[in-house]
Structure 1
Amino acid sequence: MNIDTMRRIDAWVGVPACFFLTVIDKLISIFHTGRPGPIRKILFVKPAEQGATVLAYPAIIKAIEKVGRENIYFVVFENNRHILDVMDVVPEGNIITVPTHGLFKTLTGFICAILRIRKEKIDTVLDFEFFARVSAIICYLSGAKRRIGLHTYTGAAAYRGNLMTYPILYNSHIHTIDTYRILFEAIDAPVQKLPALSLQGKYEQAYDLPKLQPGPNDIREVEELLNRKFGQGKIGPVIILNANASDLLPLRCWARGNYIELARLLLDKYPQAKIVFTGAPDEAGPAEQIVSQVKSDRCVSLAGETSFRQLMSLYTIAKVLVTNDSGPAHFASMTSIRTIVLFGPETPLLFAPKSPGTHTIAAGLACSPCVSALNGRHTKCRDNICMQAITAEHVFAQTCKAYESSLTSACSCNSWP
């Protein structure tokens, strides 16, 4: 089921469902006004976007400190659970998955997830899908007495009823990693004072990020993959290009011609370097087309040929990753690789990976960012001039800085601008 279908269902079914449940909740509250009990089990609801799950890591760690790892649960789409497996912060048996291949299976998957949540008697639910109705519905039907999520106080964002017991105001001026941490820390806030939260200064500290340490077998598998592609012998320094072609937000894509030009420039400047294109299985075709146009035996595609763990291990071997604003940018922040991230319809001020090895590039046009949590990530734009304005020469210059820094300094990610 593609993203547009999900959005239509979320709007057509979600709006009346949220309204109906809000009315039911108001009627119930007339007879039941008891306070929620102590916090014993915490559920995170974040079905979509694996990259954002990395940004949720500090909040998850805080939750673990509060109730213990065995009492942390997570609802996620089946095809997005890989990042949770790699992060290894939520017990495997506590990850509740929902299938996305087919409308009927998705709907029944949500019902099964709600039944599982109620069976676990979870008392606290955190909604990390900013203004999705389906996540608000899951939170309400979970049976949890303490429900924390964003609320559209002034109608600026999508309507999703009044289903949160701790309704939090969305602040579009702070990074997403901080929004997640605020949602968690609101657990202990006095409800009668919301949406006001006295959290000044809490987010001037360093960010705790998960760090991946692949085992020898993981590294060996990736080296074998590379040897099959490049031939036996010394692989040499690897630069990864992620030519994302996902339909999640097509306006974020950088043109194929730019990747072709960038690959050629890098291969000409660095005779020892190898270029590897990565991507999901449905991106394998476009990636192979790009490689065929680069016309070099030092440029190959691994799109659709790696497991998620192998992809993460590849990041630990490679020197630089160039990608648009997408999941791989955040996955890479769990390793020491230098990363160049291209932003267009969204802003790095809210979504940049929190890694010292990350450098973001944005054209800075007056119309950008044009999508946000407040507009449901919808835009009238059909011509992404914000991405077209980012030239291959500009990205090449920044990639060279990152690459040369990686060759001279194994650890200091801050040694290049």
Structure 2
Amino acid sequence: MDLPASILTLQRTDRWVGAPLCAILTLLRRIFESAGRPGPRQVQRILFVKFAEQGSTVLAYPAIRRAIKMVGRENVYFVVFEDNRFILDTMEIIPNGNVITIATKSLFGLAAGALRAVLRVRKIGIDAVVDMEFLTRFSAILTFTTGAKSRVGFHTFFGDGPYRGDLMTHRLLYNPHLHTSQMFEAMVESLTRDPSVLPTFDFTPAANQPLAGFRPSLSEVAEINALLQRENPRIGSAPLILLNPNASDLLPLRRWPPLRYVQLARRLLERYSDLFIGFTGAPAEAAPNNRLADEVGSDRVIRLAGKTTLRQVLVLYTRSEILVTNDSGPAHFASMTPIRVVTLFGPETPALFAARSPNATALWAGIACSPCVNAYNNRQSVCRNNLCMQAITVDDVFEKVTHIYDSLKRSTSGN
């Protein structure tokens, strides 16, 4: 997601403007909001709030399904930053018209978009909001101002995280030992409980949750094959491994040293004479990614960064054998397809954020300072030298990728 306002600016605004606003709204809530009747509350329309990180939206799939089971598909809504609605449209889990977007062209535009979103939500008559952001004040403020009678969100009961007032009716503890997708599902489940007993409630999320799926049309597959043929006429139906060198700007510490992708590509091409390597990335990443592709020095490398839409990237995954990527959105997008995914973790832990697909493999060095970003520190870190990512060697990744690829070849030849 490319925000004109820097991530640091947004975090500072959330802290210095959001904290006092949360305090004021908390005071108003205590004056004007009644406690409500004891027991679970009737819910007819559910709104999810998850502004950024499309990968987390994929992880929310089981929670959205749970909400649909409760109130019906047509009564489930989602508020998201405009640049991040793509994955919701691709998942096709709720009606497109139920996705409410907020533009992020500037801080003023962000505030104006949030106001429009709140007004629309009030007009719809949403009676339950699930705030899936990790202890941010902006999402808590928006959730409260929707006027929904039931509001689910994380609460810091003992000052164990960023202050964001007391704006939720269904206050939950953020559980750092529960996978994010399971935590999201628990948030929806809490709507069936009496708010007065929370955060304690007897719900055990399923270990095997349903996964979002993506099925391209035949014309989309043909379009991707034509793109590959155009970029490298030699590829034909040859096997393809994708490398995604750049993580999102949301957290640069996630990046694996770029030249290691070059070294990995060379070793894979040397080992497998029939293999092609594709370098993928967003348009803003095209120039550096293309330089990496050129540095490999092989005519079996395809430069794909900036040449596909996000939807075409998912189609490309269905054509490819393996994706190697930093911990970022593509790892979760790929989990919606049959491709095998090797995800490199460092500042965050795969125990909470790894894709849930059985085709996903996480590599994590597990050094003493990792993970260093979490919900409690607003996903900020004092680290300026991501040793956790540097500790993952080319040998580590090469060994994992070749093991997966050899297994794929054996299963194909066995058929």
Q: Do they fold alike, i.e. is TM over 0.5?
A: yes
Distance 2:24 2:322 in 1: 50
Which residue number in structure 1 is paired with residue 146 of structure 2?
142
Distance 1:245 1:397 in 2: 22
Shift of 1:281: 1.3
Shift of 1:232: 5.9
Select the residue among 281, 285, 288 that pairs with 2:287. 285
Which residue number in structure 2 is paired with residue 65 of structure 1?
69
User: Match of 1:71, as an amino acid?
Assistant: N
The structure 1 segments of at least 4 consecutive aligned residues displaced by more than 3 Å after TM superposition are: 32-37
Q: Tell me which moved more, 139-148 or 299-308.
A: 299-308
Distance 1:22 1:204 in 2: 34
Tell me, yes or no, if the aligned pair for 1:340 and 1:359 is still in contact at 8 Å. Answer: yes
Which residue number in structure 2 is paired with residue 335 of structure 1?
337
Asked if 1:38 is matched to 2:45, the reply is no
SS state at 1:300 partner: strand
User: Match of 2:81, as an amino acid?
Assistant: F
Distance 2:284 2:267 in 1: 27
State the Cα RMSD in Å. 1.5
Which residue number in structure 1 is paired with residue 95 of structure 2?
91
Task: Map residues 316-395 of structure 1 onto 2, 5 A cutoff.
Answer: 316-395=318-397
SS state at 2:241 partner: strand
Distance 1:394 1:152 in 2: 39
Asked if 1:187 is matched to 2:191, the reply is yes
Please give the per-residue CA displacement for 1:250-286, whole angstroms capped at 9, x wherever unaligned. Answer: 1110011100100101111111111111111111111
Asked if 1:223 is matched to 2:225, the reply is yes
Task: Map residues 204-283 of structure 1 onto 2, 5 A cutoff.
Answer: 204-231=206-233, 234-283=236-285
Shift of 1:245: 4.3
Tell me, yes or no, if the aligned pair for 2:228 and 2:235 is still in contact at 8 Å. Answer: no
User: Match of 2:313, as an amino acid?
Assistant: L
Which residue number in structure 2 is paired with residue 153 of structure 1?
157
Unpaired stretches in structure 1, ≥5 consecutive residues = 413-417
Which residue number in structure 1 is paired with residue 119 of structure 2?
115
Select the residue among 26, 33, 44 that pairs with 2:30. 26
User: Match of 2:220, as an amino acid?
Assistant: D
Tell me, yes or no, if the aligned pair for 1:338 and 1:406 is still in contact at 8 Å. Answer: no
User: Match of 2:290, as an amino acid?
Assistant: E
Distance 2:178 2:114 in 1: 31
The share of aligned pairs that are identical, in percent, is 49
Shift of 1:40: 0.6
Q: Tell me which moved more, 189-198 or 170-179.
A: 189-198
Unpaired stretches in structure 2, ≥5 consecutive residues = none
User: Match of 2:336, as an amino acid?
Assistant: M
SS state at 1:231 partner: coil
The count of corresponding residues between Structure 1 and Structure 2 is 408
User: Match of 2:233, as an amino acid?
Assistant: G
SS state at 2:130 partner: strand
Shift of 1:189: 1.4
After TM superposition, the score normalised by the length of structure 1 is 0.95
Shift of 1:37: 5.5
Tell me, yes or no, if the aligned pair for 1:218 and 1:309 is still in contact at 8 Å. Answer: no
Shift of 1:405: 1.9
Select the residue among 78, 99, 110 that pairs with 1:106. 110
Please give the per-residue CA displacement for 1:338-393, whole angstroms capped at 9, x wherever unaligned. Answer: 11011101101111100101111111101111111111111111111111011111
Distance 1:129 1:260 in 2: 36
Tell me, yes or no, if the aligned pair for 1:235 and 1:274 is still in contact at 8 Å. Answer: no
Tell me, yes or no, if the aligned pair for 1:125 and 1:148 is still in contact at 8 Å. Answer: yes
Shift of 1:38: 2.0
Please give the per-residue CA displacement for 1:59-105, whole angstroms capped at 9, x wherever unaligned. Answer: 10011011110001000011101100110011100100011122222
Which residue number in structure 1 is paired with residue 172 of structure 2?
168
Select the residue among 294, 297, 318 that pairs with 1:295. 297
After TM superposition, the score normalised by the length of structure 2 is 0.96
Distance 1:234 1:245 in 2: 29
